Structure 1
């Protein structure tokens, strides 16, 4: 059988994979590949158009954007269309009545002061006897003139009131009798109140003043008092139905808010073929970036940001997820190759739109990438990658979309990739791959049908049939490509896939034939260990097939000195009886590491080499240790009789080690029973646990108990009791046997 060399055995990769910046360089390279494949899809389409020319074809908007200039114009129109809001100011009526009342109160106050002064003068006059004093009093009366009364009245009134009242009006009010003054006050106040309770606009003020004059024109008072009343009543009338600034502003703001933004929708027809490109049309073309006077740098910058975000999230997930991608740069390189190959295939399919066949781009075999990642790495990584593929595809397949992103292809690629992950399991059979292809085809058809229904367009039956047919074919193409590429990835990157494990479990493999021919006892022992390990691994969710194949090869090192191991000592003396315990120890301890070297020389995957090297961990070679202590008077160090390790670093290695020890121990029992077997198995597991052999792997106490139970069940089937033949039948049996 030819030896296949993976990239792990290449000297250049051994030097490069441990470089401190290799992972940074890797994601940078993936970003460059992604950007290079997408850059042609975001190059802005510019048109050589000028105002006043005629369009040669239909031009549609490539994106959805607001036409802010048009929106602002409509908002201004709505603002201007709102008439000022008027409101009745009831307080104005009360204020004017209070001003009129203040006029009459001031008149009454001045009249009271004059009366009080005259009364004081009269009192002084009656008590005076000298003529000189009388003359002085007469002079005092003459000084209290009408002008003084008017001046005193104006002092009591406000400046605004004084500006609207003539001296004749005040003089009339100061002269009339108290009864007429009271009539004037009541009539004027009542008239002003009646008129001011109605809405009076600025243009209606003169009309209202005329109305109040008619109401105060009564016959019961003198004409001069009537004129005074008219003047006061006209002063009391003012506009009370005025613009409400706050309400007006609020109404105009509401009108502006009601204006819907003017949007240029993606796919909107801006210019029809043969239509003249007016200034408004040209402005719309510039708005959506179709004219030559736009900045073409922005799309490239936007794509760079998208790619950086994708690579950032991808690197974070792959470095954080508990998979081999976290530490194994060879697996990371393989992931990058699968990622790049899938994107290249998608790019080639996206370029098939020039064929002008309905639905041709749905033939994209995106499920190939996720199926390969699931088979070779892990399903959760494949699920995350399907989201990345969907985002990339939504940009890559925008050739027939009016905008930068084609959401229909993004949705299609996502579901197609996820379908390949969900249906595929760890089964190695080709039939399972074919079933996965059928499942992917079914999901593809359903997704495409859903997209057609969502578009709610009048598609013809032929067009619908082509779309669904290409979607169905994509699933089978993905499986065919996966089956064809899988061996290359397994061999090129040393991946221990299910198919590879089945191949290595073939008894015709040179190493297995070597064990069978040179150490048949070891071969039989390995088969039983494989049965024990596989069942135990499956009970705790570990890789049972890996444990089985690892068990087949775990003692390959014994073929170098097969007769020094008791299972191969048939009808010969034990060579350990004639050599020292230290030499025996050296021979026995060497077999895991001899086996690891042999496996490496045959380019066996590292996972199997680890099982062969770690299945004894650092356990003590008890038999020869105690024998050396008995034969020597010197102090024998226990460390000298321990395997140098390493300890098991994964569940499969640990379980194979337990199964190896259990099988040898049970085989040495004289009369094994179920109870004895269970006690022995649990004692071996406990001893290894206390000896720290499971410190480097993630086995829990619960899992150790499940492993013990599983091995007991398997051993009970292997070492079951047999029926003893009666003595009379023994000769007959022997005869038949011969």
Structure 2
């Protein structure tokens, strides 16, 4: 007993929508995970120092070699020379002493020249000079003889000497004089003075003045040195090991440095790294969540059945294999991803399901493509390939509009061509590499070929999905809506009244569906075929009798009811024989639901007291979709309106309200998910459409004529 209950629970779960969706998503994600695993898994090696490697090993990730960065930083710091700060105060002070000497000598010479006193000689001038010179100068190691030589020199000689020594001092002090360089600086200046055009005695005096004037004016600065070292350290670029960089060539000796790099990259057995794999799992969980959410959003507007789920799985598997096979031949230079006809996926999904799911899956496929095209370098995503795939697919979604025939796919492909070429040129122009015009044309040609292949694949695979999986797409519906379709021609020739009735129902149904966001094209095409079963016995239906005698006048009510109630199922059988999509067959079978055939029921009740209502009700099923319910309502409305004699807006509104209310009270709309708000909108659209067709010549029948209404069903 317990095992039976468990089995029943499992069966109910297995039939649930969520189980189907989760199963499909898991299948897609597991497939992509298996294909992407080699692109993120870090291969490890068992090797020892100073052994020879048997293969070329590349870096799987981009990482900083901190030890090498620290070593380079130390070298840079050590190469920075000590920084010294020059004291301008000392410079000005020492040169000021020199200028003081020459100015004092000049002053004394001028004063004595203008003096009227007798007995002025060199000795007195020397005394005067020492009295006016600064103590620092007097303490200098300059002899009286040297002072006398300076005093005895001419003005021109002193002027030239002052210019020579001042210029040399400024040059030396501006360059900075360190204590350890003081003697060298003095020697250099004296060497320059050696060749000056002045007499030997005066030159010796200048040598002595230089010895006095030159003192250190450049001193070590810890702040400047630290600042220079810091600036140099900041300019040191981190030593990076780039993903894809060759660490060791085949046959190369494993040095200590190479071994450390392998250890740093986690390529040794003791450093196995599973983090990229964990990251891949998280990525696919996020992508699976996106797909699952989009499935739930899609179910709000349409049914996500097994066929559509199968289509998504097959498209995803097709994309997975296509991307993986292409990536095997991908290198860092051949840009093979441009040739991948990825837009075929978005075109197929939009045609078979919806634009929103096509956009969501385009994002998913693009992200996965960036992983598969990373040239198997873990930690690297090929963003160029991912962006190209995304733009190409979104272009397919955007440009695929107004699908009236399969030529719309070719028109969309022309838009994809433009986007592909623009994306290709975008990356070529942004790169630092230089390309020739031949390469620009070649890669643009790849984008063109990718779009053409996408169109060819879409056109080639679409019939498989439509026929093999029984998915009804807009292109399939448009094909079925053609007047040249054999079944529609059969309806037109064998039951012209029914054909006209179906056209009217189609117009009402499409307008009503579009008003509430349902599939208007599906409702229109289904309405074309909903009464196909009447072609089995066309003259038993009043719209096809055209002046002939009514055959039901010669039949029992039960026989007539049996003939009339068979037409939905005859139609479903014919549609199934001609392999018409299941959605249209369902609407044909459900458009009368389990409604009561009132005319023959009341007629039988007048003759037979034991008449049972269930014998005059359609077997069903009731309408199970919004489109089926709308076709059912519009079918009854159109049939009732045709019997009216005096149309008016008021009567039209009253008639439509009556029919919708009757269907509600009879429970015919219970399984269709239509809301009261949607029914109000449907009523409004039907009334507007009928007013446009019948103007003001409609008369609604009285309750007493209820049974006459049902004669319009046959």
Do both proteins adopt the same fold according to a TM-score greater than 0.5, normalized to the shorter chain?
Answer: yes
Distance 1:678 1:324 in 2: 28
- The answer as to whether partners of 1:649 and 1:697 remain within 8 angstroms in 2 is yes
1:395 maps onto 2:371 in alignment: yes
CA distance in 2, matches of 1:659, 1:713: 13
Confirm whether residue 350 of structure 1 aligns to residue 348 of structure 2: no
Q: How does 1:333-732 map to 2 (within 5 A)?
A: 333-353=310-330, 358-399=334-375, 404-425=380-401, 427-452=403-428, 455-634=431-610, 637-719=612-694
| Residue matched to 2:33 | 35
Instruction: Kindly indicate whether the alpha-carbon contact (under 8 Å) linking 2:42 and 2:272 is maintained by their aligned counterparts in 1.
Output: no
Aligned counterpart, 1:332: 309
Write the distance in 2 (CA, Å) between the matches of 1:75 and 1:320: 57
Kindly state the Cα deviation for residue 694 of structure 1 after the two structures are TM-superposed. Answer: 2.5
**Equivalent of 1:286 in 263, 266, 269:** 263
Q: CA deviation at 1:667?
A: 1.3
Would the alpha carbon gap of residues 463 and 59 (structure 1) be closer, same or farther in structure 2, given more than 3 Å must change? Answer: farther
Corresponding residue for 1:162?
none
Kindly indicate whether the alpha-carbon contact (under 8 Å) linking 2:513 and 2:519 is maintained by their aligned counterparts in 1. yes
Q: Distance in 2 between matches of 1:76 and 1:358?
A: 41
Q: Secondary structure at the match of 1:668?
A: coil
* Partner of residue 122, structure 1: none
> Higher Cα Rg: structure 1 or 2?
1
Q: CA deviation at 1:703?
A: 3.4
Asked if 2 retains the 8 angstrom alpha-carbon contact of 1:613 and 1:646, the reply is: yes
- List runs of 5+ in structure 1 lacking aligned partners: 1-16, 79-253, 723-738
Q: CA–CA distance in 2 between the matches of 1:519 and 1:390?
A: 52
Q: The residue matched to 2:299 in structure 1 has which SS?
A: coil
**Conservation of the 8 A alpha-carbon contact between 1:58 and 1:269:** no
Q: CA shift at 1:372, angstroms? A: 0.3
Check whether the contact 2:307–2:471 (CA below 8 A) recurs between aligned residues.
no
TM-score normalised to structure 2 length? 0.64
Aligned-residue CA RMSD (Å): 4.4
Deviation per CA, 1:245-275: give whole Å up to 9, x if none: xxxxxxxxx9xxx999966353486769899
C-alpha distance in structure 2 between counterparts of 1:601 and 1:616, whole Å: 21
User: Alignment partner of 1:506: what SS?
Assistant: coil
What is the alpha-carbon distance in structure 2 between the residues aligned to residue 430 and residue 545 of structure 1? 16
For residues 606 and 418 of structure 1, do their structure 2 counterparts lie closer, same or farther at Cα, with a shift above 3 Å needed?
Answer: same
Query: Which residue of 1 is the match for residue 204 of structure 2?
Result: none
Name the CA distance, whole Å, in 1 between partners of 2:660 and 2:322: 51
CA contact (8 A) 2:40 2:377 kept: no
> Are the structure 2 counterparts of residues 694 and 22 from structure 1 closer, same or farther at C-alpha, using a change threshold of 3 Å?
closer
Within a 5 Å distance, the mapping from 1:59-458 to structure 2 comes to 61-67=59-65, 264=240, 266-267=242-243, 278-290=255-267, 295=272, 303=280, 306-307=283-284, 310-311=287-288, 314-315=291-292, 317-318=294-295, 321-322=298-299, 328-353=305-330, 358-399=334-375, 404-425=380-401, 427-452=403-428, 455-458=431-434
Distance 1:449 1:595, change over 3 A: same
The residue aligned with 1:146 is: none
Distance in structure 2 (CA, Å) of the matches to 1:26 and 1:705? 38
Following superposition, the deviation at residue 388 of structure 1 comes to 2.0
Give yes or no for contact 2:470–2:581 (8 Å, CA) kept in 1.
yes
* TM-score (ref. length: structure 1): 0.62
Native 8 Å contact 2:405 2:478 kept in 1: no
Query: Residues 301 and 261 of structure 1: is their aligned pair in 2 closer, same or farther, counting only changes over 3 Å?
Result: farther
